[in-house]
Amino acid sequence: MKLVYINNSKSSVFDSQVLALLKYYQKNAFFEKVILIFGYQNKEEINWLRKKDTAGIIIYFYKSYPNYPFFNYLIQRNLFRILRTVSANFTDYFFHIRGEMSSFHFKKIATKLEIEPKQLLTDVRGVSIEELKEFSNANGIIKWFKLYNYERAFQSLKNEINISVVSDYFKTYLISSLKITPKSIYVNSCLTDDSFKYNLTSRKSIRAELNLKNNEMLMIFASGGTAAWQNNDIIVKLANTGIKVLNLSRLEIKNKNVLNRFVPYSEVPKYLSAADISFIWRDNSLVNKVASPVKISEYMACGLPIVHNGTVDLINTITTDGIDALLINDIDDLNLVKVKNIVKEVNREELSLKGQLLFGISTIAESYKKIYLQKTK
């Protein structure tokens, strides 16, 4: 069987969630061919991908456009043309499509290409409609056009027979909102590659680089983006409690207790090993409730307990308060004593193994592969 993965644009999680997965497939010879169809909006995005180590993955590019209804025809036309370039017969192909919008476009042309619904997995990563309504700064008419498109794509999921979502809560939400049969929905959270594991050697070297004493607590805040729901600005409140905070985001925070580092993705596991505890703080919103933040997978795979405010259902499900997580309702309730107490309770090696079992790339890849194979029999 040949696998075609369709990704409609550049994103902050492309390396960790898309490229890592396809490279794993390629390395382990899961498929006769691994093909990535990448939607680009400008030449810089093509060059960005070509500079990466793609490990022999076959790559095709198609011109994409912003998510407005008046671009739908052009996107579908370009996607159709590039698929015709890939093959004239898709009998032994399976299509993994990232995002309900891309799936919406794909299904518009699938019949012409004689591709059956069972050959398609729609991988839904978040509640795009609610995200746009709550966090977009777009003006009224622009926002309306985007919502119109997303709502059509969301409603089209009713007819899907293979859907992957990132959390159990998301699955429950789809079942209740669209009346989709549970057997059509699978759960595959955000993955981590094999480099994310607790490493004592890395811990010692990075803490020396940061001039930290052995008993000095270090909290880490990592973020691949600057979206409003990630609450990057809360780092200042953390630092003002007296806790040292390692900021691995894209925003520099000027505070005596904040250590800013902007490191390549490949270096992130070392810094996670150097930290003692992690932090994620999200608003009480459906966008966050259904989410599987990439950083949660990475934190746990590196054996880090998590300070959180209970708004991400996945964290509530996979952690135990007082053992590998600290649930607080108000940021003012957090202090250095509580951080030290939870850190004392954690066995980093055991928590790291738990994280790898839940979110490791082999776990997620095998789960996806099972869907591909059982649906093509």
> Does 12 score more than 90 pLDDT?
no
**Cα–Cα distance, 302 to 297 (Å, whole number):** 9
> Does 211 score more than 60 pLDDT?
yes
3-7, 109-113, 252-256, range with the lowest pLDDT: 252-256
> Does 242 score more than 50 pLDDT?
yes
| Owner of token pair 């994620």 | 280
Confidence of residue 249 (pLDDT cuts 50, 70, 90): confident
Q: Which stretches of the chain are DSSP H helices?
A: 20-27, 43-50, 72-86, 100-110, 128-135, 140-156, 168-178, 200-209, 235-239, 268-274, 286-289, 294-301, 313-318, 336-345, 348-359, 361-376
The answer to whether 333 and 310 are in contact (CB under 8 A) is no
Mean pLDDT of all residues belonging to the chain: 92
Closest by CA to 13, choosing from 126, 101, 103, is: 126
**What is the separation of C-alpha 185 from the centre of its chain, rounded to a whole number of angstroms?**
18
Arithmetic mean of pLDDT, 340-363: 95
**What is residue 229's predicted lDDT score, i.e. its pLDDT?**
42
Quickly count: other Cβ atoms within 10 Å of residue 220's Cβ: 26
**What is residue 76's predicted lDDT score, i.e. its pLDDT?**
98
Torsion angles phi and psi, residue 90, rounded to 5: -110, 25
Question: CA angle, corner 60, sides to 57 and 62, nearest 5?
Answer: 150
> Does 185 score more than 90 pLDDT?
yes
pLDDT in tens, 303-321: 999 999 999 999 999 999 9
325-327/306-308 β-pairing: parallel
The answer to whether 105 and 122 are in contact (CB under 8 A) is no
Torsion angles phi and psi, residue 272, rounded to 5: -65, -40
Closest by CA to 252, choosing from 243, 242, 244, 262, is: 262
pTM of the full structure: 0.92
pLDDT in tens, 26-43: 999 999 999 999 999 999
Domains of the chain and CATH, by start:
2-191+360-376 (3.40.50.2000), 200-359 (3.40.50.2000)
Arithmetic mean of pLDDT, 264-268: 90
> Does 231 score more than 70 pLDDT?
no
**What is residue 164's predicted lDDT score, i.e. its pLDDT?**
98
Measured CA distances, 104 to 59, 83, 150, 305 (Å): 21, 15, 9, 39
Measured CA distances, 230 to 11, 241, 288, 290 (Å): 16, 20, 9, 14
Q: What percent of the chain has pLDDT over 70?
A: 97
DSSP secondary structure, 16-44, as one string: IIIIHHHHHHHHTT-SSEEEEEEEESSHH
Looking at the chain, the number of H-run helices and the number of E-run strands are 16, 13
Arithmetic mean of pLDDT, 328-343: 91
Helix (H) or strand (E) holding 321: none
Confidence of residue 228 (pLDDT cuts 50, 70, 90): very low
**What is residue 375's predicted lDDT score, i.e. its pLDDT?**
53
| Owner of token pair 């095709």 | 60
**What is the separation of C-alpha 216 from the centre of its chain, rounded to a whole number of angstroms?**
31
**What is residue 174's predicted lDDT score, i.e. its pLDDT?**
96
pLDDT in tens, 150-179: 999 999 999 899 999 999 999 999 999 999
Confidence of residue 135 (pLDDT cuts 50, 70, 90): confident
